[in-house]
Amino acid sequence: MAFKIIFVVPDLKVGGVTSIVKNISEGIANYGYEVTVITLFNKKDLDLDKNVKIISLNVNYNLISWLFGLYNYLKIIKDIKPNVVHSHTMYSHFLTCIGAYFFKAYKLICSEHGTYMGELKFYKRMNLFRLLNTQADLITNVSQASCNSYVEKGIVPETKIRTVYNGINLNHYQFCEVDRISYRKSLNIMPKEKVIGFVGRLSKEKNLDNLIKSATLLEGSFKLLIIGTGDEEDRLKKEVDKLKMAEKILFLGEVKDPRPYYSVFDVLVLSSNTEGLPTVILEAIATKCIVVSTDCGGVREIFLKGYPYLAKVNNSYDLLKKIQAILLLDQSVTEILKDECYCEMVKKFSQDEMVNTWMTIYA
């Protein structure tokens, strides 16, 4: 009889968490596991392997809808009889942990994907998770820094949480000169113009104000390409217009497959206040794109010790210095740096490494 695993996720929209669940589910399906993905909300951008079954609970943001969702979830659990239920991010944990009070004949794993900084807006949901996670057999997070933040805030006991690094399929990422030329041409980017890139949600946590302020201080010919959508999008666009930077800072909106843009960028920049283990950094490094990031969450764990291009959090002048330093590097030094980052990433952050770790945990 096949080993059965159910993943529970909010949705299958484009994003770091979704891409990781896709990599795990498809990876273990190749080893003969029977895999089902349950989504809370009916939002789907990504297709999964034909061997992975997808079920949506079609939950809405009201109590009655959630109760129906819980009822249907329990029916699915009793029908499939999984060996493991593996939920990802907070809303999914609420469903699986509450469900475990009614029926539990399986291992329950709850995976978080970020660092908790004690923000007031997350306080109530973290308190609820603190109460509910007693039903879980294991809590995981994506970096040691992220795990430490949950332990230090008393959300999870140290004995119940462990780090499991994310991994990506390296075969899906490679530098492409054709993409670099064609995409730059389509965006009217001159051959000698430097391209700074951002990929992610336009949310307060990502602190795009920090990056935009750095860009206003950056000298020389460049374009800043911002890929993604979010609650902060309209405000950020107005701010860029106010700063008269609309010709240099381009908002490209949601891009379902951002991979070609990593070949376009001369540097990927993350200006976040908090991170777990950003998948976008792994993807950029795999495409041989240099990264500048704020030194938050598990970012430092991706790079070799002493990586010099991590900036202080919420410090646009320090971020500017790091970006300038990268853009002024000699090409030969740049290539060496790219190779060093790639070799370090392959050791810990490949899909194979991640899948093998998870199969050991599931057993």
pLDDT in tens, 319-353: 999 999 999 999 999 999 999 999 999 999 999 99
Average pLDDT on 131-147 reads 97
Angle at CA of residue 40, ends 281 and 164, nearest 5°: 35
The answer, yes or no, to whether residue 121 has pLDDT greater than 70, is no
Among the residue ranges 13-17, 39-43, 138-142, 239-243, the one predicted with the least confidence is 13-17
How does 132-141 read in b/e, with b if 16+ C-beta sit within 10 Å?
bbebbebbbb
pLDDT category, 132, cuts 50, 70, 90?
A: very high
Tell which wins on pLDDT, 81 or 119. Answer: 81
Average pLDDT on 214-238 reads 97
pLDDT of residue 117: 81
- For residue 302 the two structure tokens come to 């991706």
Which residues, in sequence order, are CB contacts of 70 under 8 Å at separation 6+?
95, 98, 99
pLDDT category, 22, cuts 50, 70, 90?
A: very high
| Radius of gyration for the alpha carbons in the chain, expressed in angstroms and rounded | 21
- For residue 164 the two structure tokens come to 């499991």
- Please state, rounded to an integer, the average pLDDT across all residues of the chain: 95
pLDDT of residue 120: 55
| Alpha carbons 166 and 350: distance in angstroms, whole number | 8
Q: What is the pLDDT of residues 93-104, one digit of tens each?
A: 999 999 999 999
Among the residue ranges 32-36, 45-49, 283-287, 308-312, the one predicted with the least confidence is 45-49
Sheet holding 107-111, edge to edge: 52-56, 34-39, 4-9, 84-88, 107-111, 138-141, 161-163
pLDDT of residue 250: 98
| Alpha carbons 266 and 191: distance in angstroms, whole number | 12
pLDDT of residue 45: 74
Helix (H, G, I), strand (E, B) or coil at 196: strand
pLDDT category, 220, cuts 50, 70, 90?
A: very high
- For residue 270 the two structure tokens come to 């993350």
| Alpha carbons 66 and 40: distance in angstroms, whole number | 9
pLDDT category, 122, cuts 50, 70, 90?
A: confident
pLDDT of residue 224: 99
| Alpha carbons 18 and 13: distance in angstroms, whole number | 7
- Composition of the chain by helix, strand, coil, percent to 5: 45, 20, 35
pLDDT of residue 256: 87
In 19-104 the beta strands, taken as DSSP E runs, fall at 34-39, 52-56, 84-88
Question: How much of the chain, in percent, has pLDDT values that exceed 70?
Answer: 99
* Residue that has been written with the tokens 């469900």 in this structure: 99
Q: What is the pLDDT of residues 264-313, one digit of tens each?
A: 999 999 999 999 999 999 999 999 999 999 999 999 999 999 999 999 99
Residue type, 87: S
* Residue that has been written with the tokens 């930077």 in this structure: 245
Q: What is the pLDDT of residues 155-205, one digit of tens each?
A: 999 999 999 999 999 999 999 999 999 999 999 999 999 999 999 999 999
pTM: 0.91
| Alpha carbons 292 and 10: distance in angstroms, whole number | 30
pLDDT of residue 14: 77
